[in-house]
Amino acid sequence: MNAALPHLPALQVVIPLLGAVLAAFLRRGAFAFAVALVVTWILPFVSAILLWQVLASGPISYAIGGWAPPWGIEYRVDVLNAFVLLLISGVGAVIMPFARRSIDFELPESKEAWFYCMYLLCLAGLLGVTVTGDAFNAFVFLEVSSLATYALIALGPDRRALVGAFQYLLLGTIGATLYVIGVGFLYLLTGSLNLVDIAARLADLPDGQWKTVMVSLAFVTVGVSLKLALFPLHAWLPNAYAYAPSWVTAFLAATATKVAIYLLVRFYFSVYGVAFDWRALPVGEAFIVLSVAAMFIASAIAVFEPDLKRMLAYSSLAQIGYITLGIGLANQAGLTGGLVHIVNHALMKGALFLALGAIFFRVGTVQLADLAGIGRKMPLTMVAFSIAAFGLVGTPGTSGFISKWYLAVAALDAGRWPLVFLILASSLITLIYIGRVLEVAWFRPPTPAIAHAADPPLSMLLPLLVLAAATIYFGFDTRLTAYVAGTAAQTLIWGLR
Amino acid sequence: MAALSTFVEHYNYVITVFLMVTGLYIVVARSNMVKKLVGLGIFQTSVYLLFLEPAKIVGGTAPILEPDFTMYSNPLPHVLILTAIVVGVATLALGLALVVRINEAYGTTEEDEIFGGGHDL
């Protein structure tokens, strides 16, 4: 164990990567699931130790293959990415047991092993993007995770999943390519790909080359925004989420967009922010405007959406708006709120999509019209759903309240009090689409179509309840979320010029 | 005249940007999914050029320590693009596989027909 300690940053990526190969060779769904389960349950311990080390003794630098940075690829763990690593591996570990029954139900046996292989590749990619300190390495991992994601979405039971995956492939590839163009400009200017090194070299860049940095900033912003589905670059998300297998949707909603947001924060605050005041450009303003647009337009679409999975997909767009709003405000409270909401949204959306997965498992549909009275047939599932849904609205006592509180404080700190009303107003729209579902689920008599529905087996119910409980727990005890996010935000803000 | 000399000195970048925009236009404007993937390929390839052009020094050799050679081309961009090409090939392969599956499921690879033409999407 002690011998493994210095290599934890690399193990974070190597373990799922090896697991993916193993799962592909095993060929049997049950064996592949066992591999995926073991791998996913080891990873949170790795990232928890990393976070603990980083909080205790500062950033960890790991030279891949022994090549010293900036020449070799550096894995660099600080509070921010240790936090994101723990979130991804933690959520993955909690929802993993749900996959067995749900995937067994939705996918043919012959594809199950490949499914777990793809999932582990996706996980390796996501963790890789988060842990790496190298701009090009981040691109490679981004594409590893994205390619696996396209395949995962295409496995959906409906033929529309294929079209959704194809659209995502086009837009995702364009996003990644734009990101590479941005990185290319940085490389041409500084001759380095190591993020810390780029930042240091940008800081003493001669005047007259700033135009190139700004162009690079624009390319990276648009490229990564495509990946994180910032409104109006979100066109791929609703179809991809709606037609992917239920469990995949829960996993992606909780992790994939979050990693893209992390990458954006990393570039803004640790690379561009160190070199020049990117807030002097209208980047922050643009983010605030687009975030508010997402909060309202996506929520409004969600109100009229009959398919619950699509409804929650649009809701995700709105919630991503809250996170990018905090980044756009770029002050201590805003960044803390944004980072906390990354965690809180992951927990709540994970719970909501898992609940839909459980409903699909029992009833075979997630159309709102068919689910009258489902709360009486599947009480525990719908209780978990309701708790997470109230978290989404931002009800006090749930974790959603904490993030919105920080965002409101951030808006006041920045002297933008109209934003506080906009946050409140968009929460009310959230209440409308959530209320619509809760009304149908709890207050209508059950229809004959769902007469035989019952709560799902324990392996599916437990992850759901754990996530719902976490939504409440992090609404009261914010030591883990808000404290760590605050520390990360502080480090980032200090780094700004 | 100044504009012309700028153009001639940077003609390689002009070509790169032309390819970039061409590729992106094809992705957006074409309805056929295979053609979209062709456009995507052109777009990605233009980025390979963007990295490789500045790395090549006329008369430069591979970085081998040898007293006869003093001018080297930077090898790193070539290595990076080798990786990017692998990513591009994987993307293209996955995209084509999806198109095959879409063709089996819908009987067409035209996006217009899938979204508009009587198919119940």
Average pLDDT, chain A: 89
Tokens, residue A222: 């648009």
The Cα–Cα gap between A448 and A368 comes to 15
Neighbours of A337 (CB within 10 A): 33
pLDDT tens by residue, B24-78: 999 999 889 999 999 999 999 999 999 888 887 777 777 777 787 778 888 888 8
Q: Which of B30, B56, B78, B80 to mutate to test the interface with A (most CBs of A within 10 A)?
A: B80
Return the residue matching tokens 């190597």: A14
Dihedral sign, Cα of residue B26, residue B27, residue B30, residue B32: positive
Please indicate whether residue A2 or residue A74 has the higher confidence score (pLDDT).
A74
**Quick one: average pLDDT of A96-105?**
90
**Does A177 sit within 8 Å of B47, measured CB to CB?**
yes
B98 touches chain A (CB under 8 A): yes
Q: Can you spell out the DSSP letters for A436-457? A: HHHHHHHHSPPPGGGTT--PPP
Query: Smallest CA–CA separation between A125 and chain B, in Å?
Result: 13
pLDDT band for B117, please (50, 70, 90 cuts).
low
- Name the 3-class secondary structure at A134: strand
Q: Can you spell out the DSSP letters for A248-296? A: HHHHHHHHHHHHHHHHHHIIIIIIIHHHS-GGGTTHHHHHHHHHHHIII
What does the pLDDT read at residue B120?
45
**Does A143 sit within 8 Å of B91, measured CB to CB?**
yes
Contacts with B97 (C-beta within 8 Å, 6 or more apart), sequence order:
none
State which residue of chain B sits closest to A136, comparing Cα positions.
B80
ipTM of the complex: 0.92
Q: Which of B74, B87, B99 to mutate to test the interface with A (most CBs of A within 10 A)?
A: B87
Half-sphere exposure of A243 (CA within 13 A, CB side): 24
Contacts of B19 in chain A (CB under 8 A): none
What does the pLDDT read at residue A1?
56
**Does A162 sit within 8 Å of B40, measured CB to CB?**
no
pLDDT band for A497, please (50, 70, 90 cuts).
low
B91 touches chain A (CB under 8 A): yes
Query: Smallest CA–CA separation between A159 and chain B, in Å?
Result: 6
Lowest mean pLDDT among A171-185, A241-255, A366-380: A366-380
Q: Is the pLDDT at A456 greater than 90, yes or no?
A: no
Percent over 90 (pLDDT), chain A: 54
B36 touches chain A (CB under 8 A): yes
Among residues A114, A115, A148, A144, which one has the least CA distance to residue A129? A144
Query: Smallest CA–CA separation between B67 and chain A, in Å?
Result: 24
What does the pLDDT read at residue A213?
87
Q: Which of the 8 DSSP states describes residue A297?
A: I
B79 touches chain A (CB under 8 A): no
B49 touches chain A (CB under 8 A): no
The Cα–Cα gap between A462 and A471 comes to 14
Q: Is the pLDDT at B119 greater than 50, yes or no?
A: no
DSSP H or E run through A71: none
CB A73 within 8 A of CB A10: no
Residue type, A426: S
**Quick one: average pLDDT of A88-95?**
93
Interface subset of A 130-159, CB within 8 angstroms of B:
136, 139-140, 143, 147, 150-151, 154, 159
Q: Which of the 8 DSSP states describes residue A61?
A: E
A129 touches chain B (CB under 8 A): no
pLDDT band for B85, please (50, 70, 90 cuts).
very high
Contacts of B109 in chain A (CB under 8 A): none
